[in-house]
Chain A
């Protein structure tokens, strides 16, 4: 808190949330940024204008949020509710409830449905077009082997990562049964799962400084391509200090991705060539969330302590919006056609 501010890691948004940031997302249509926070609020920023456009107060900490379109969004709260937020009227209504805090929320443009995952070990699908009231909006409830920790959507595919290192892959058109039941390739708790923009697989990060790159196709040829790599580690005096990888964000244009860890670093990776493309200078505290804007020109970074070491003094929570150079995210072709073993 008292330490010197690091050299500008991007433009810091004014009026940041007053407590930890749980997630942030850029809109698919504009440079608007939706931010959910532990301070029981969801805020809408105009990232290019650096202006706070709206604020919604909830009954409990907000664990996730997402856009519906530019005029409305959804939030998942620890008070078990799933809410719809209408920005223009600054109005919110409760779409439905889970039996436990709702951890994550995703809106599928393909299915026109909202999907929420909760610690009550269920996944629920909602139809937001229906009138408010649980019985009218709820489409289905699907049991999960464990508490849902992370969700990701691509096309009609839904990847659900839960506690106990389970990974379920669903087809949104047939939610009765997971398409694939998998176990995480990583040995430790899953922090984040994100699908490749090209729809062929997903990246999954764990609390132990590692990211696994996975493929949906179960053929041997496809599975041979999967791998995991270490990141967000520090080697000190012969000991590796390993940090959780909290966030993964894919670049919408190049398919490269950024990871953010509790070490406060944001790294950009080229998954195809297995290269790290760039490392941004260190942020004051853990990276809680990352999001690229729709054209990939901006990267929103939530630098916010994620309580990995319990309640302790920490740097203030901040949102940085940095413009992204092509060189930082453009894949570089391999140097050797066959890298020497």
Chain B
């Protein structure tokens, strides 16, 4: 080529010479001056030079450009290499020869390395992405930036890549660990929930919704794991708590079964619970063993048994109490303890007192009372005998008062015998009392305590008895004296006026006095005593001034009491009895005494036929008919009459009732007949109107 160039060049030189020759010839022919010839030739020469110079400049520029390109590429190459951690290979410029060749090699090199770099970058990106994903899973989004920043172009070395890969591996390991942990937790939770009877899905779902999705991946974030751990811990605590409660209940159950001999069928239901009484927490795995329902059931059973136990305890306490009371009553002891016990039974019901304690107390009391009973036994036996003797004595007194005691009836010989025995016994009473007194005193001294019999002191009872006895004897003496004096008086009168029937009644009456004392004593316990009509009557007649008799009055006539009128019933018994000095008048009608003897009535009835009625408005009237035996309406009160309080009260009060005489159906005629000799009674209205029964209708 170069040869070709030279050829061309030579050719151009030849052409030029030719052109010069030709120009010479033309000029010669034209005759151009030599000076002009030289100027044109110089001009041509200069133009050629200009063209050359321009060509060289352009070539220089091109070369410089090439060199610059090479430098830029080389720099980039070096950059990439360093970023990728590669040694830049020593490069000889000569190898390539011309600049263009060099540029070519560099550009190709650069292209290669760029490709490499992209590959590397992709590798990094992939690893980083994975790292980021895992860390996101672990810690959430916030910390992912750390890894984003690292993905810069500056360091794409293999070492760095390895590092990242290691990190990734670590994270992956960590993740699998966490997954295992979570599943462990979940398993624990599951078993706990099973035992506690809770809904696992519910609890797990609360911690993270992903746990309920069996196919999806489980959440492994710190928060979740923490929550899971907390939940497990929580449930474990609950489990332990419930377990303790269950075990407490179970032990209570066992105790109660043992105490009350509960039948096995009843126990069977709760056997699975009592079998776990000594189990430790991990041992309890039966499903629902610690569920709230079951616990409540067990608790209900326990409280039922407790109730049962309490009632049985109460029963026992009551039984013991009854036993104690029985012993006390047998031994005639009145202890406050028994009363106090009453109180404690109430306390027991309210739960203030432990029944065991109460039971113990009662046992103690029983033991004490039994012991005391032993020491009292001797004296009590004597007291018994004494009381029997006293009873016989009172019977004897009663018997002695019976007028007809010697009238032979059936069984009379038996009572006679009894009386004989009783008399013998009665004679022994003073000795008995004496022995009893000394024994009791000895007992009291020995024990430093009073001997109480049914709450009262035995000694005072004895004393009272002897006082009563003395009184009785004195009474007896007095009566004897009286009898004697009376006899004397009768004798005197007989001497003066001749004989009279002896008032045997008064003699008999006298013996009745002690009995009256006794009845008084008895009655004073109840309500007010109403005087026994019969003895009272005769007594009042004998000793009119001695007793303040209750008189009943109808107010209408209370004013007229001492005038000649009383309400409706003329008092058949004359006032004479009460006021010995007032004049006897059939119209003096004291309303006091209604227990008339038959004789009294008869006398008044006969006298009443002559009665006159000076004041027509007076409500004179006797009950038109007297029943054969005129019963006092209160004669035999079946119920103890209690006087009605005069103050108004809203409390219902028993009526003062008395039996009334039997209803008699009478013939009209008989009444009419009897009416004739009765004074006529008038009602208030008749008096007010001034109505007087026409006599003709009666006669």
Partner-B contacts on A (CB < 8 A): 20, 22, 38, 61, 63, 78, 100-101, 103, 119, 121, 145-147, 149, 163-166, 180-183, 185-189, 191, 207-210, 212, 214, 218, 223, 226-231, 233-235, 238-244, 262-263, 265, 269-270, 273-282, 306-310, 327-328, 332, 339, 341
Question: What are 21 sample pairs from A and B whose C-beta atoms fall under 8 A apart?
Answer: A145-B672, A165-B623, A181-B668, A183-B663, A186-B633, A189-B619, A189-B621, A228-B659, A228-B660, A231-B644, A235-B643, A238-B550, A242-B552, A269-B655, A273-B652, A276-B654, A276-B655, A278-B652, A279-B650, A307-B687, A341-B638
Please measure, in the bound complex, the distance between the C-alpha atom of A101 and the C-alpha atom of B685, giving whole angstroms: 10
Known: A241-B555, A241-B558, A276-B644. A183 touches B686 (CB 8 A): no
Q: Is the CB of A207 within 8 A of B644?
A: no
> Which chain A residues border B90 with CB–CB below 8 Å?
none
Considering residues B656, B667, B687, B697, which has the most beta carbons from chain A within 10 angstroms of its beta carbon? Answer: B656
> Which chain B residues border A307 with CB–CB below 8 Å?
684-685, 687-688
> Which chain A residues border B658 with CB–CB below 8 Å?
227-229
Partner-A contacts on B (CB < 8 A): 548-559, 567-569, 594, 617, 619, 621, 623-625, 633, 638-640, 643-644, 646, 648-650, 652-668, 671-672, 675, 678, 681-689, 691, 693, 697
Q: Is the CB of A308 within 8 A of B684?
A: yes
> Which chain B residues border A243 with CB–CB below 8 Å?
554-555
Known: A228-B658, A239-B550. A188 touches B653 (CB 8 A): no
> Which chain B residues border A308 with CB–CB below 8 Å?
554-556, 684
> Which chain B residues border A281 with CB–CB below 8 Å?
648
Please measure, in the bound complex, the distance between the C-alpha atom of A185 and the C-alpha atom of B634, giving whole angstroms: 12
Please measure, in the bound complex, the distance between the C-alpha atom of A235 and the C-alpha atom of B665, giving whole angstroms: 35
> Which chain A residues border B549 with CB–CB below 8 Å?
238
Q: Looking across the interface, which residue of chain B has its beta carbon closest to that of A182?
A: B663
Nearest-Cβ distance from residue B580 to partner chain A, whole angstroms: 20
Q: Is the CB of A234 within 8 A of B646?
A: yes
Q: Is the CB of A226 within 8 A of B643?
A: no
Please measure, in the bound complex, the distance between the C-alpha atom of A166 and the C-alpha atom of B667, giving whole angstroms: 11
Q: Is the CB of B685 within 8 A of A22?
A: yes
Considering residues B554, B568, B666, which has the most beta carbons from chain A within 10 angstroms of its beta carbon? Answer: B554
> Which chain B residues border A328 with CB–CB below 8 Å?
650
Q: Is the CB of B665 within 8 A of A339?
A: no
Q: Is the CB of A242 within 8 A of B554?
A: yes
Known: A186-B633, A241-B555, A244-B556. A208 touches B663 (CB 8 A): no
Please measure, in the bound complex, the distance between the C-alpha atom of A121 and the C-alpha atom of B654, giving whole angstroms: 38
Q: Is the CB of B660 within 8 A of A274?
A: no
9 closest cross-chain pairs (CB), A and B: A185-B660, A240-B552, A229-B655, A164-B624, A308-B556, A275-B652, A279-B648, A229-B657, A230-B656
Q: Looking across the interface, which residue of chain B has its beta carbon closest to that of A266?
A: B648
Known: A228-B657, A229-B655, A243-B554. A310 touches B668 (CB 8 A): no
Please measure, in the bound complex, the distance between the C-alpha atom of A150 and the C-alpha atom of B625, giving whole angstroms: 19
Q: Is the CB of B689 within 8 A of A101?
A: yes
> Which chain A residues border B684 with CB–CB below 8 Å?
244, 306-308
Q: Is the CB of B567 within 8 A of A188?
A: yes
Known: A165-B625, A242-B552. A181 touches B687 (CB 8 A): no
Please measure, in the bound complex, the distance between the C-alpha atom of A51 and the C-alpha atom of B663, giving whole angstroms: 46
Nearest-Cβ distance from residue A75 to partner chain B, whole angstroms: 15
> Which chain B residues border A240 with CB–CB below 8 Å?
550-553
Known: A239-B551, A306-B684. A182 touches B664 (CB 8 A): yes
Please measure, in the bound complex, the distance between the C-alpha atom of A158 and the C-alpha atom of B659, giving whole angstroms: 25
CB-contact partner of A163 in B554, B655, B666, B681, under 8 A = B681
Q: Is the CB of A186 within 8 A of B687?
A: no
Please measure, in the bound complex, the distance between the C-alpha atom of A229 and the C-alpha atom of B658, giving whole angstroms: 6
Please measure, in the bound complex, the distance between the C-alpha atom of A298 and the C-alpha atom of B652, giving whole angstroms: 21
Q: Is the CB of B652 within 8 A of A78?
A: no
Q: Is the CB of B693 within 8 A of A147?
A: yes
Q: Is the CB of B657 within 8 A of A227?
A: yes
Q: Name 7 extra pairs, CB < 8 A, besides A212-B660, A231-B655.
A: A103-B685, A145-B672, A208-B554, A230-B644, A230-B655, A240-B552, A310-B617
Please measure, in the bound complex, the distance between the C-alpha atom of A276 and the C-alpha atom of B683, giving whole angstroms: 27
Nearest-Cβ distance from residue B651 to partner chain A, whole angstroms: 9
> Which chain A residues border B633 with CB–CB below 8 Å?
186-187, 210, 228
Please measure, in the bound complex, the distance between the C-alpha atom of A165 and the C-alpha atom of B568, giving whole angstroms: 11
Please measure, in the bound complex, the distance between the C-alpha atom of A332 and the C-alpha atom of B665, giving whole angstroms: 35
> Which chain A residues border B665 with CB–CB below 8 Å?
180-182
Q: Is the CB of A186 within 8 A of B660?
A: yes
Known: A181-B666, A239-B553, A240-B553. A227 touches B660 (CB 8 A): yes
CB-contact partner of A238 in B548, B556, B652, B686, under 8 A = B548
Please measure, in the bound complex, the distance between the C-alpha atom of A181 and the C-alpha atom of B670, giving whole angstroms: 12
Q: Is the CB of A189 within 8 A of B668?
A: no
Known: A61-B689, A239-B552, A274-B655. A149 touches B683 (CB 8 A): yes
Please measure, in the bound complex, the distance between the C-alpha atom of A103 and the C-alpha atom of B654, giving whole angstroms: 34
Please measure, in the bound complex, the distance between the C-alpha atom of A309 and the C-alpha atom of B687, giving whole angstroms: 10
> Which chain A residues border B689 with CB–CB below 8 Å?
61, 78, 101
> Which chain A residues border B683 with CB–CB below 8 Å?
147, 149, 163, 189, 191
Q: Looking across the interface, which residue of chain A has its beta carbon closest to that of B556?
A: A308
Please measure, in the bound complex, the distance between the C-alpha atom of A191 and the C-alpha atom of B682, giving whole angstroms: 11
> Which chain A residues border B550 with CB–CB below 8 Å?
238-240
Q: Is the CB of B654 within 8 A of A274?
A: yes
Please measure, in the bound complex, the distance between the C-alpha atom of A280 and the C-alpha atom of B648, giving whole angstroms: 7
> Which chain A residues border B556 with CB–CB below 8 Å?
244, 262, 308-310
Q: Is the CB of B654 within 8 A of A339?
A: yes
Known: A244-B556, A277-B652. A223 touches B691 (CB 8 A): no
Q: Is the CB of A188 within 8 A of B648?
A: no
Q: Is the CB of A235 within 8 A of B660?
A: no
> Which chain A residues border B664 with CB–CB below 8 Å?
182-183
Please measure, in the bound complex, the distance between the C-alpha atom of A39 and the C-alpha atom of B625, giving whole angstroms: 36
Please measure, in the bound complex, the distance between the C-alpha atom of A208 and the C-alpha atom of B551, giving whole angstroms: 13
Please measure, in the bound complex, the distance between the C-alpha atom of A227 and the C-alpha atom of B660, giving whole angstroms: 6
Q: Is the CB of B624 within 8 A of A270?
A: no
Nearest-Cβ distance from residue A285 to partner chain B, whole angstroms: 12
Nearest-Cβ distance from residue A23 to partner chain B, whole angstroms: 11
Q: Looking across the interface, which residue of chain B has its beta carbon closest to that of A189?
A: B568
Nearest-Cβ distance from residue B42 to partner chain A, whole angstroms: 165
Nearest-Cβ distance from residue B285 to partner chain A, whole angstroms: 64
Nearest-Cβ distance from residue A160 to partner chain B, whole angstroms: 13
Q: Is the CB of B644 within 8 A of A227?
A: no
> Which chain A residues border B663 with CB–CB below 8 Å?
182-183, 185, 214, 218, 223, 226
> Which chain A residues border B646 with CB–CB below 8 Å?
234-235
Q: Looking across the interface, which residue of chain A has its beta carbon closest to that of B626?
A: A187
Nearest-Cβ distance from residue B685 to partner chain A, whole angstroms: 6
Q: Is the CB of A188 within 8 A of B555?
A: no
Please measure, in the bound complex, the distance between the C-alpha atom of A235 and the C-alpha atom of B663, giving whole angstroms: 30
Please measure, in the bound complex, the distance between the C-alpha atom of A328 and the C-alpha atom of B651, giving whole angstroms: 10
> Which chain B residues border A145 with CB–CB below 8 Å?
668, 671-672, 675
Q: Is the CB of A275 within 8 A of B654?
A: yes
CB-contact partner of A121 in B625, B657, B688, B697, under 8 A = B697
> Which chain A residues border B681 with CB–CB below 8 Å?
163-164, 189
> Which chain B residues border A78 with CB–CB below 8 Å?
689
Please measure, in the bound complex, the distance between the C-alpha atom of A121 and the C-alpha atom of B639, giving whole angstroms: 39
> Which chain B residues border A165 with CB–CB below 8 Å?
623-625
Known: A229-B655, A332-B652. A188 touches B662 (CB 8 A): no
Considering residues B633, B663, B667, which has the most beta carbons from chain A within 10 angstroms of its beta carbon? Answer: B663
> Which chain A residues border B685 with CB–CB below 8 Å?
22, 63, 103, 307
> Which chain A residues border B548 with CB–CB below 8 Å?
238
Q: Looking across the interface, which residue of chain B has its beta carbon closest to that of A263?
A: B555
Nearest-Cβ distance from residue A220 to partner chain B, whole angstroms: 10
Nearest-Cβ distance from residue B522 to partner chain A, whole angstroms: 13
Nearest-Cβ distance from residue A260 to partner chain B, whole angstroms: 14
Q: Is the CB of B623 within 8 A of A310?
A: no
Please measure, in the bound complex, the distance between the C-alpha atom of A156 and the C-alpha atom of B358, giving whole angstroms: 68
> Which chain B residues border A310 with CB–CB below 8 Å?
556, 617, 687
Please measure, in the bound complex, the distance between the C-alpha atom of A325 and the C-alpha atom of B327, giving whole angstroms: 51
CB-contact partner of B568 in A119, A183, A208, A230, under 8 A = A208
